[in-house]
A and B are shown apart, each in its own frame.
Chain A
Amino acid sequence: MKRRYVLLLPCLAFVLVAIKPSPSEDEQYQVRRKRMVKAIEADVKFTSKRIGKKALGGQVMEAMGKVPRHMFVPAHLRRSAYENRPLPIGHGQTISQPYIVALMTDLLDVDEDDVVLEIGTGSGYQAAILAELVEKVYTIEIVRELGEQAKGRLKHLGYQNVEVRVGDGYYGWEEHAPFDGIIVTAAASHIPPPLTKQLKPGGGMIIPVGSPFMTQQLMLVKKEKDGTIKTKQVLPVIFVPLTGGH
């Protein structure tokens, strides 16, 4: 009899484990998101010399920790959504590495009452991050399917302050200009002149340069208060090209 109870113990343990509420899918994603933010913070600390600050803006990191990145990637890639890597989103486009997204957003140096323009909506993730930080985000996508999907996704997630348009980003969005900041994530052989015109004096434009899955450098365009344009190349990584040249 006693032996029988002993045999029952493992079964009981199994049942207890089985009925113990496992973390919901959302909770799991939240844990992963936190981990991702920590990874970015660690990377930023490591790269602090290059980007000229010890940490990225607290609000940027908060936004990175809040926006559900898994909702912006194709369903079959959701498990990898919070890895610090770029992911394909179809139509030959990618969602950037989270570290690069955070860095670009921080370099844009936006305030909560700013109006920002994005060229190249893609999945809408960058727009969502910006929407957490600024008053209004206008974003233009050239590929209809991507634009429509991003529009639906952002609406579903409750982002009221993002407006998506499908069309040509070359001319910017004249009706809502000038902008405090512009992000051009669509590849272009040159910087469209209308965009520099639509940038507010004191505003900044950021353009990642490179091939898909690989952001080589970030081009920062700054419109001074007097209207003059200055550009700067930021390498998103500490790398001194000469050995012993620190």
Chain B
Amino acid sequence: MLVGYAIFLISAGVIGYEILLMRLLSVIQWYHFAYMIISLALLGFGASGTFITLAQRWLIPRFHLSFTVSAVLFGLTSVCNFVLAQRIPFNPLEILWDRSQLLYLLVLYVLLSVPFFCAATCIGLAFARFKDQINRIYRFDLLGAGTGALALILLLFAFPPTTCLKLLVALGFFAAALMSLNHPLPRSRWLAVAVFSCGLVLPLAWPDVWLSIRISDYKGLSLALRVPDTAVLSQHSSPLGLLTVVRSPKIPFRYAPGLSLNYFLEPPPQLGIFTDGDSLSPITRYEGKREPLAYLDYLSSALPYHVLKQPKVLVLGAGGGTDVLMSLYHQAKSIDAVELNPQIIDLIKQVHGEFAGNLYQREGVRVHAAEARGFVAGSSERYDLIHISLLDSFSASASGGYALNETYLYTVEALEEYLHHLQPGGLLAITRWLKMPPRDGLKLFATAVTALEKSGVDSPGRQVVMIRSWKTTTLLVKNGEFTEEEILAVGTFCEARSFDVAYYPGIRAMEANRYNVLEKPYLYEGAMALTGEKRNDFLKRYKFHITPATDDRPYFFHFFKWGTLPEIFSLKGRGGLPLLEWTYPILIVTFLLAVLTSFVLILLPLWTLRRNGSSRGDRNRIALYFLSLGLAFLFIEIAFIQKFILFLSHPLYAVAVVLCAFLVFAGFGSGYSSRWAQRFQQFHVRKEGMPILLVAIGIVTIALSYVILLPPLFHRWMALPDGLKIPISIALIAPLAFCMGMPFPLGLSRVATAMPDFIPWAWGVNGYASVLSAILATILAIHFGFTVVIGTALILYFLAALALWRPLG
């Protein structure tokens, strides 16, 4: 079945395109804009359904030609449209100031949606053409997507994203070549050879210059490269990010965020590591001498070293090694440093090892390539100090750019976990950027208080200390109560550096606002309220969302509250706009736009379909069925990716394993679905809706049992090696995904039998629902948590089963 293999290639290509776009746009712009642009561009998927429905009388009799052209166009536009998109002068930072940016954004959406449209047209055409083989086509579609996702993530380790993008041209042309073999034309083989050759040659002939990434002028890397004599030393790409190492010999980086004004010397020479063109993490020159590192003692994050003497340290998020150097400067007993990205470790160990003074190979320093939270959960060690430093860029953080990022580093459960890994008297130290009015600092404080309470501490206020420099806050959480001597040490540290104490047990109001004077001592007032009886009232009245994040709602950076929006907009001309944490409202706007577009494009083809005598009730039931499935499938997939991130201890492993396993096993489920339906016929079950209902019951049962059983099981298996955790994850996903792959082909086959003209329309509705699903899942998770996302999905599966319970037509 050549069409099946062609579908396999197209599906692999289109999921590859989606992952690559996310990667490339995260480098060019910022992650949150990438997320929003792709969310709407995916509407191209649904639009193909509308298009095929409207043009099916012309397209389906010319299936081979239509498929071949669509596949070729997919290959070509995936690269060409990206090249064109890079030439649009879209600057998201100006979107609130300049209306023409909205027009650029629209053009961007349209350009980037074309490849999705072309690929989905291929698949939709195949469904409409091969009505009796829907389950097989869907199987190839899912298997292709699963394989494509895994292959692309692996390829991203070996090749930069732009090279991978060129491979999509080949996939599109190869799919077209396969279809050409089936073409009724007399010399179809020659045509196939020609198309295949184009697929081989085009990616090789494509000039790299055309595809070079144009990073936004306002990102840290672009700004750094404008400094005279700066040069890129090396670039390293992986699915975790694009690392760029920059040298600036004439005007050094001198990266020391919030350095005390009482320090008068210059930091040593540094190399800058930029991740995705932003988030600078410096590699500081180290020659084994302490003196040049003295500046590190004048950062607010040095505080724990003045409370503890020669501690055993765990640094989470080691990056370029600044915090490891800080530990060395303070003569830590031993240092375990955890860094997610192995390429960064390699940079410090190998590539720039000499410059960094072989920091990660020094005696007493052990470096681990792992995700921070997973490392702690799987470790049996206890530390005197767990140190978490600034991992994000100030400008992205200040504009609320991380609001949609799930982070398990700062949740209540995470802080509980860290506290369990502290020696008695040990400290957890977390440094964040200081924003005005405070957001991160207070949310972190509230999280620490909640975590201490959950750990059984009666007076959490006696175990926390917070200080601030003019740009950062540092929070200390102690495994035990702070002693007078320790509080004295905090005071001495702050006084010598002109840092302010925001909170310590027994603090007086007059101490909280002495050096870096704020209009009001916001952090002190907040900390007092959060440790007192008025905590809930304060959380409610505070104009930013500072209620602690949890593992189920891991959105630490979500600070937006609707109630504050009118006030901020009224202050637009008066310097008030920076107060807007605008990622979340843009997510809502994106969702509304997607709903509106979907609604119009779903209704549009009904004008033609009405003429064929179908009843309104049937149309509504088909719409409800495929809408529910589209929403529910991704809800479960997205929610379980998040659940498995904690277990697999690595976001990348989780995405690769869960996504691939879900799609592949759903593919097997799809393949089996026709036999499943036949069994009911064999046993003369007359209820047409029975196969779907039983599958829905199966999905609900498995998913519910996972919601209940997985947390304790994951906790128990946390320390297992990855080699075991990955097969366990696959085994857990397999039965759920297998069932989830069945409803779509079962439903579409029934549409094919009763109302065949509606196949592309149903495909379109499903496509639109998938787009809405990804955005809606994030909105639901922000407000109610991922468990509610799963619960909603299960209700939707039941709704779907009910929609097609009665026969169609």
Interface residues of A (CB under 8 A from B): 39, 43, 46-47, 50, 80, 84-86, 88, 90-92, 97, 99-100, 103, 142-144, 167-168, 170, 187-193, 196-197, 209-217, 219, 221, 229-245
Is A142 touching B579 in the complex (CB atoms < 8 A)? no
Tally of B interface residues using CB under 8 Å: 60
19 A-B interface contacts by CB (under 8 A)? A46-B574, A88-B217, A92-B217, A92-B218, A92-B223, A170-B251, A188-B254, A189-B258, A211-B396, A215-B578, A216-B436, A231-B498, A231-B517, A232-B516, A237-B575, A239-B437, A241-B438, A241-B543, A242-B538
8 A Cβ contacts from B341-395 to A: 394-395
Contact A193 B263 (CB under 8 A): yes
Given A144-B228, A231-B517, 8 more pairs with CB closer than 8 A: A43-B573, A86-B97, A91-B226, A189-B258, A190-B471, A191-B261, A211-B394, A213-B97
Q: B522, A241: Cβ atoms under 8 Å?
A: yes
A80 vs B522: C-alpha distance when bound (angstroms): 37
- Residues from chain A with Cβ under 8 Å of B187 in the complex: none
Known: A231-B470, A239-B571. A210 touches B578 (CB 8 A): yes
Q: With a CB–CB cut-off of 8 A, which chain A residues contact B395?
A: 187, 210-212
Q: Is B653 an interface residue (CB 8 A)?
A: no
Q: A92-B218, A219-B470 are in contact. Are A103 and B517 (CB under 8 A)?
A: no
Do residues A211 and B398 form an inter-chain contact, with CB atoms below 8 A? Answer: yes
- Going nearest first, the 7 A-B pairs with the smallest beta carbon separation are A236-B575, A211-B395, A190-B259, A241-B437, A92-B217, A214-B578, A237-B576
Chain A residue with the shortest CB-CB distance to B570? A46
Measured between beta carbons, the chain B residues less than 8 angstroms from A210 are: 395, 398, 578
> Taking the nearest CB of chain B, how far is it from the CB of A170, in angstroms?
7
Q: How far is the CA of A220 from the CA of B395 in the complex (A)?
A: 19
Q: For residue B522, which residue of chain A has the nearest CB?
A: A241
Pick the contact of A239 from B94, B438, B579 — CB < 8 Å? B579
Say how far B126's CB is from chain A's closest CB, in angstroms: 47
In Å, the complex CA distance between A193 and B437 comes to: 26
- Interchain pairs with CB closer than 8 A, number: 160
A96: nearest chain-B partner, CB-CB: B575
Given contacts A211-B93, A229-B261, contact A92 B222 (CB under 8 A): yes
The residues of A that contact B484 with a CB separation of less than 8 Å are: none
Q: Mark B258-283, 1 if CB is under 8 A from A, else 0.
A: 11011111100000000000000000
Cβ of B525 to closest chain A Cβ, rounded Å: 8
CB distance from B271 to the nearest CB of A (A): 15
A-contact bits for B754-796, CB 8 A (1 contact / 0 none): 0000000000000000000000000000000000000000000
Interface of B is mostly: loop
Q: Which of A189, A196, A215, A233 contacts B256 (CB 8 A)?
A: A189
B91 sits at the interface (CB 8 A): yes
Whether A43 touches B574, Cβ cut-off 8 Å, given contacts A216-B398, A216-B435, A232-B516, is: yes
Contacts of B91 in A (CB 8 A): 88
A242 contacts B543, C-beta separation under 8 Å = yes
Q: Is the CB of B515 within 8 A of A230?
A: yes
Least CB separation from A83: chain B residue: B97
- B190 proximity list for chain A (CB < 8 A): none
Residue of B264, B517, B518, B522 touching A193 (CB-CB under 8 A) = B264
Task: Known A99-B575, A231-B517, A237-B579; judge A85-B97 contact (CB<8 A).
Answer: yes
Interface residue from B396, B516, B519 paired with A235 (Cβ < 8 Å)? B519
Residues of A within 8 A of B517 (CB): 230-233
The reply to whether A193 and B265 form a contact with Cβ atoms under 8 Å apart is yes
Decide if B576 touches A239 in the complex (CB within 8 Å).
yes
What's the Cα separation between A216 and B576 when bound, in Å? 8
Closest to B218 in A: A212
B402, chain A: closest CB distance, angstroms: 13
A233 and B571 contact, CB distance less than 8 A: no
State the Cβ distance, B228 to closest chain A Cβ, in Å. 6
* Cβ–Cβ contact A243 & B398, under 8 A: no
Indicate whether B201 reaches chain A with its CB closer than 8 angstroms: no
Smallest Cβ-Cβ distance to A243: which chain B residue? B541
> Are A214 and B228 in contact, CB atoms less than 8 angstroms apart?
no
Contacts of A188 in B (CB 8 A): 254
Give every chain A residue within 8 A of B617 (Cβ-Cβ). Answer: none
Chain B residue, CB-CB nearest to A218: B575
Closest Cβ of chain B to A229, distance in Å, is 5
Could you tell me the distance in whole angstroms from the C-beta of A149 to the nearest C-beta in chain B?
14
Chain B residues within 8 Å of A212, by CB: 93, 218, 395
User: In the complex, what residues of B have CB within 8 A of residue A170's CB?
Assistant: 251, 254, 266
User: Does B626 have its Cβ within 8 Å of any Cβ on chain A?
Assistant: no
Task: Kindly list chain B residues whose C-beta atoms are within 8 Å of the C-beta of A50.
Answer: 519
Verify if B544 is at the interface (C-beta below 8 Å from A): yes
B282-322 contact mask (Cβ, 8 Å, vs A): 1 or 0: 00000000000000000000000000000000000000000
Question: Which residue of B has the minimal Cβ distance to A211?
Answer: B395
Name B222's closest neighbour in chain A (CB-CB): A92
A90, A97, A216 pick with most chain B CB within 10 angstroms = A216
Chain A nearest Cβ from B216, distance in angstroms: 8
User: Which residues on the B side are within 8 Å of A213 (C-beta)?
Assistant: 93-94, 97, 218
Please, which residues of chain B bring their CB within 8 A of the CB of A187? Answer: 223, 395
Known contacts A189-B254, A190-B256, A241-B544; A233 and B518 CB within 8 A of each other: yes
Contacts of B262 on A, CB cut-off 8 Å? 229
Q: Is B250 close to A, CB under 8 A?
A: yes
Question: What chain A residues lie within 8 Å of B563 (beta carbons)?
Answer: 243
Question: How far, in whole Å, are A242 and B575 apart by their CA atoms in the complex?
Answer: 19
A236: B residues at CB distance < 8 A: 574-575
B257 interface residue per 8 A CB criterion: yes
Residues of chain B contacted by A90 (CB below 8 angstroms) = 217
Cα distance, A85 to B578, chains bound together (Å): 12
User: Which listed residue (A209, A229, A242) contacts B471, Cβ 8 A?
Assistant: A209
Most buried by A among B91, B222, B228, B575: B575
The CA of A46 and the CA of B570, in the complex, are separated in Å by: 11
Query: CA A80 – CA B94 in complex, angstroms?
Result: 13
The CA-CA distance from A232 to B521 in the complex, in Å, is 12
Q: Closest CB of chain B to A228's CB: distance in Å?
A: 9
- A216, B395: Cα distance in complex, Å: 10
Task: Report which of A100, A193, A214 forms a contact with B399, defined as CB distance below 8 A.
Answer: A214
The verdict on B542 contacting chain A, using a C-beta distance below 8 Å, is yes
Of all chain A residues, which has the CB nearest B263? A193
Cα(A97)–Cα(B262), bound, Å: 32
A197 to B398, CA, bound (A): 29
Measured CB to CB, the nearest residue on chain B to A213 is B93
- Interface hits, B512-556 → A, CB 8 Å: 515-519, 522, 538, 541-544
Distance in Å from the Cβ of A86 to the closest Cβ of chain B? Answer: 7
Q: How far is the CA of A235 from the CA of B436 in the complex (A)?
A: 7
Which residue on chain B has the smallest CB distance to residue A92? Answer: B217
Q: Which residues of A contact B438 (CB under 8 A)?
A: 241
Complex: chain B residue closest to A98, CB-CB: B573
Distance between Cα atoms of A91 and B578 in the complex (Å): 22
Q: How far is the CB of A79 from chain B (nearest CB, A)?
A: 12
Complex Cα–Cα for A99 and B658 (A): 51
Find A238's partner among B93, B394, B436, B571 (CB 8 Å cutoff).
Answer: B571
Inter-chain contacts of A214 with B (CB < 8 A):
93, 398-399, 577-578
Whether A233 and B436, one on each chain, are in contact in the complex, defined by CB atoms closer than 8 angstroms, is yes
A190–B394 CA distance with the chains assembled, in angstroms: 12
Chain A proximity of B247: nearest CB distance (Å)? 15
In the complex, chain A residues whose CB is within 8 Å of the CB of B97: 85-86, 213
A222 to B, closest residue via Cβ = B517
Instruction: Give Cα distance in the complex from A97 to B437, angstroms.
Output: 20
The answer on a CB contact under 8 Å between B261 and A196 is: yes
